[in-house]
Amino acid sequence: MSRLTFCTCIAESVSAITLAISAMMAPAAAQVGPPPLVADLVMANHILFDQGVVDGFGHVSVRNPANPERFFLSRARAPSEIEAGDVMEFDFDGKPTGGPRDKPVYRELFIHSEIFRAHPQINAVVHSHSPAVIPFGVVEIPFRPVAQTGSFLCGGVPNFDLHDTFPDAANLLVTSGDKGRALAKTIGNRPVALMRGHGNTVVGRSLKEVVFRAVFTEVAAKLTAQAIALAGGGKVKYLSDKECELTTSAGQTSGSNEGLERNWETWAKQVEAKKR
């Protein structure tokens, strides 16, 4: 073996060993976001599953407090299975900017990106197909609350029909920025938008508020449908706008941090208990 060949072999071996050591030392999955916020995002997914708001579909996101033009959302995975290492960061164009970028992403992440872009006061978004809500998107009957836990719904629940704006869309999914922008426009300053033939989207100022609203939107839909069925075509006495205002300001619903904390704690403990 010539001196040159010998040196080349040594160099290649050292290079291969260096690469192997680097691979061994590389983190399994680069985690993003402040750990407490990521832990809450994981818990939000598990609560929404446990409360019957999401199933294998549905997702929840939170704005990055350190960079308001970014948000955190899991890679495409069933909400009940999500872990901290699944959380990714995205920009408003839906491009991944952190987290496990080699994994598939939710096709409907544009629901989140365009709502965060259009509504700076919104810091958390839930999209679900929660079953009791869907019928209100396909009938002429308005979705109004009959109990105080749904008082945040007073003032109207807009109905987003994708085919009004995109008549040629192949399906009802929000799979592009322009479809996300249409939904963000429809939801406006309301906490909830129905999505005809598909599901609903809920927004909030925090993860705890958006989870509270998503759970009690499903509860309100059940109660309102029961009241309408019981009435048998007769009159239903809905909460008045004044009652909604007073029950919210009295701290019984989403206007109260204490109310949000109390429900979050209950739901989180239930999730933890089921893991044991």
Q: Taking the CA of residue 33 as centre, how many other CA atoms within 13 Å lie in the half-sphere pointing to its CB?
A: 30
**Contacting range for Zn ion; rule: CB under 5 A; set: 7-15, 16-24, 193-201, 235-243:** 193-201
Min separation Cβ 23 and Zn ion, Å: 38
**Contacting range for Zn ion; rule: CB under 5 A; set: 4-12, 64-72, 179-187, 192-200:** 192-200
180 vs 199 by CB, closer to Zn ion? 199
Check if 108 is active-site.
yes
99 vs 199 by CB, closer to Zn ion? 199
100 vs 199 by CB, closer to Zn ion? 199
Q: What are the phi and psi torsion angles at 207 (to 5°)?
A: -60, -40
185 vs 228 by CB, closer to Zn ion? 185
112 vs 144 by CB, closer to Zn ion? 112
Min separation Cβ 34 and Zn ion, Å: 28
Dist CA 54 CA 8 (whole Å): 58
**Contacting range for Zn ion; rule: CB under 5 A; set: 115-123, 175-183, 195-203, 260-268:** 195-203
Beta bridge partner(s), residue 71: 63, 90
The catalytically annotated residue of 69, 89, 108, 265 is 108
**Contacting range for Zn ion; rule: CB under 5 A; set: 10-18, 69-77, 196-204, 255-263:** 196-204
Min separation Cβ 141 and Zn ion, Å: 22
**Contacting range for Zn ion; rule: CB under 5 A; set: 87-95, 191-199, 215-223, 253-261:** 191-199
Whose structure tokens read 């949000």?
260
Residue number of the CB atom closest to Zn ion: 199
Site string for Zn ion, 197-226 (x = CB under 5 A): --x---------------------------
Min separation Cβ 136 and Zn ion, Å: 16
Contacts with Zn ion by CB under 5 A: the residue count is 1
Min separation Cβ 52 and Zn ion, Å: 16
Three-class HEC string of the chain: CCHHHHHHHHHHHHHHHHHHHHHHHCCCCCCCCCHHHHHHHHHHHHHHHHCCCCCCCCEEEEECCCCCCEEEEECCCCHHHCCHHHEEEEECCCCEEECCCCCCCCCCCHHHHHHHHHCCCCCEEEEECCCCCHHHHCCCCCCCCCCHHHHHHCCCCCEECHHHHCCCCCCCCCCCHHHHHHHHHHHCCCCEEEECCCEEEEEECCHHHHHHHHHHHHHHHHHHHHHHHHHCCCCCCCCCHHHHHHHHHCCCCCCCHHHHHHHHHHHHHHHHHHHC
74 vs 248 by CB, closer to Zn ion? 74
Min separation Cβ 47 and Zn ion, Å: 19
Q: Provide the annotated active-site residues.
A: 108
- Binding site residues, Zn ion, CB under 5 A: 199
